Amino acid sequence: MAEVKRAAITAVGHYLPDNKLTNHDLEQMVDTNDEWIQTRTGIKERRILKDDDKATAFMGAEAAKEALDERGISADEIDVIICATVTPDYLFPATACLIQSKIGASNAYAFDLSAACSGFLFALSTGGNFIESGRAQKVLVIGADKMSSIVDYTDRSTCILFGDGAGAVLLEASEDGNGIVDYINRSEGDTGLALYQPAGGSLNPATEESVADRLHYAKQDGRTVFKKATVGMADVSAEIMKKNDLTADDISYLVPHQANLRIIDATANRMGLDSEKVMVNINKYGNTTAATIPLCLFDWKSKLEKGDNLILAAFGGGYTWGAIYLKWGM
């Protein structure tokens, strides 16, 4: 009897800008210091896209090209492109459509998905559904954000957290049991607006006042979001393990969203995982929002073996959170 068809990751690509913004650089910009930042977040430096003529679509396209090159296929074989981002080049057209043009994926249709730091997880589960249903054969899932475009570098509570980057994976059907086994996605409307961008949408369109009041930058009630994220990410990770009868010994790696090292540690502890089973690169890149999880997969891909059990977990604005259980397909 044939195995169930699953959506497996068959290639991974990434893009990181060359320019580094270190904690010592931030010491010259706002009232903060390296020890404080590292102790509370685990971040040492982050990458910043400085080019005025480049944004999220550029980074996403570069990551996608690398994934296609690794797989050895041309872009016109792609059926669907999903780009998770909260920093689109424009409100419309979709950043995914710009990426489609940049890579020459003439046969694909493309759309953006907005779920903040959970965006890549939501996009990956969505892409997986296209593969499992047979509606698509090859799906590019991209997480890309130019967070520096919405970060207020006079606000020490947020500017220390974020960086720019992109990651991309190719999904294809697998019949060897590898691929996405299960996922749990959750949302809870953040009516208190603990994490949001106040202006630029249809409720508060851009005005001279909104710009002067710095309302087009990301705002965060750090304590509220930290508490929600710590509980949400840990709970959903434990839940997907229980649902699939997995123990800590069964897990090869936790692939967590890189928002805060303390949140990552809390999730790993709840799962019963030792630190060597947890992917952490927040020290190098900061929080790249939708790009963190695929950037982890890229950094660790040489250590991964076919069939490895991975738990991907994230929490983000919305609120949105979730976990994916997948068997590595490369």
Q: What residues act catalytically?
A: 117, 257, 287
59: its two tokens: 């980074």
Distance of CA 158 to the CA centre of its chain: 18
> How far is 97 from 88, CA to CA, in rounded Å?
11
Angle subtended at Cα 265 by Cα 259 and Cα 267, rounded to the nearest 5 degrees: 85
The answer to whether the CB of 268 falls within 8 A of the CB of 241 is no
Whole-angstrom distance, CA of residue 214 vs CA of residue 51: 22
Category of 245 on φ-ψ map: left (φ > 0), alpha (ψ -120 to 50) or beta: left
The number of C-alpha atoms within 13 Å of 133 and in the hemisphere containing its C-beta is 9
List, in sequence order, the alpha helices (H) in the chain. 23-27, 34-41, 56-71, 95-103, 119-133, 208-212, 222-243, 261-271, 282-285, 292-300
Give the Cβ contact number of residue 135 at 10 Å.
11
Report the sign of the C-alpha dihedral through residues 150, 154, 155, 159, in that order.
positive
Residue 284 φ/ψ region, left for φ over 0, alpha for ψ in the -120 to 50 degree band, beta for the rest: alpha
